Amino acid sequence: MPKTLLQQLREMTVVVADTGDIEAIEQAKPQDATTNPSLITAAAQMPQYQSIVDGVLLDAHKQLGDGASDKDVANLAFKHLAIEFGKRILAVIPGRVSTEVDARLSFDTEGTKKMAHDIIGLYEKSGISRERILIKIASTWEGIRAAEQLEKEGIHCNLTLLFGLHQAIACAEAGVTLISPFVGRILDWYKKDTGKDYKGADDPGVQSVTRVYNYFKRFGYKTVVMGASFRNTGEIIELAGCDLLTISPHLLTELATTEGDLSRKLDPEKAKTMQIEKLTIDKATFDKMHAADRMANDKLKEGIEGFSKALENLEVLLAKRLCELETRDLKLVSAD
């Protein structure tokens, strides 16, 4: 019986679900799952998850007391909401979940470390080992330094919003567990900048991840590569063999319903034989390469701003819902 593209992909790559939708994760049956502020905000607005949101809000209100403002309660609740979704996701997958540090801390090493400790503490308080958690941190120089220190404490990190080779090498030299280069966002930038369309191996996002993967395997880095942010299955097909790929539910469904031959495109043994120049990335080199890479510069800035905006939207959403819950409770008291 012919195999689907997804079945073949799973024979050479760890498949990860890129969503906060628990029902979609149950259907996809991935090894791991990733979330980000935008995905959590979207999931929090789905009716089937209203009870999770309400439970987190009521717990935050109880923790802060009746004198707390709706804004303060919402601020505490949003910090706990991603963990609550993470706990539910871990109940339906065998592997790890990635939970993101507040994007507004992307240039704050100490702030990033503190929030990472808070996230791990909340998971461990619920009986979930840190081995099942990846802390997602933006691939700024400051974020990479925070991840380097967290890894030494046994806290595993997923460095996200990664667009350039300089970011990837800095992460590998810092000993981070995993990086998430953003394939589709790289493609978006080049399409807008050049006015061209790109397909298959010509896709700049595919080329970027391929370059990073080969570099890591050539020089024996332990950091693994997880391609992310896909726009179409063609990008996924071109990266078959990558350590991990995190894929949205609709693209997972497309792969699961398509038959055909899937050949391995990324191979660690082939990479070991390649002629590749080895680079050392200190801060000066990082800053110089980042400034010279317009795409990486633009997309990192845009990504941090986008995730920060999603968090602000989530805080507003939670404050609104808290007001609704308080109004409902007052009506119930009045009825009694």
Which residues are the active-site residues? 136
CA dihedral 206, 4, 246, 297 (to 10 degrees): 20
Please tell me the chain's helix, strand, coil percentages from 3-state DSSP, rounded to the nearest 5.
60, 10, 25
Answer for the pair 197, 149: CB distance below 8 angstroms, yes or no.
Answer: no
Tokens 């090894």 — which residue?
A: 31
Tokens 């949101």 — which residue?
A: 53
- 3-class DSSP state for residue 258? coil
Answer for the pair 177, 156: CB distance below 8 angstroms, yes or no.
Answer: yes
Q: Quick count: other Cβ atoms within 10 Å of Cβ 200?
A: 10
- For the record, the structure tokens of 50 come out as 């209203």
- For the record, the structure tokens of 126 come out as 């619920």
What distance in Å separates the CA atoms of residue 144 and residue 238, rounded to the nearest whole number? 28
- Residue 112 sits at φ, ψ, to 5 deg, of -65, -45
What distance in Å separates the CA atoms of residue 60 and residue 281, rounded to the nearest whole number? 43
Q: Chain-centre distance of CA 145, in angstroms? A: 18
What distance in Å separates the CA atoms of residue 334 and residue 336, rounded to the nearest whole number? 5
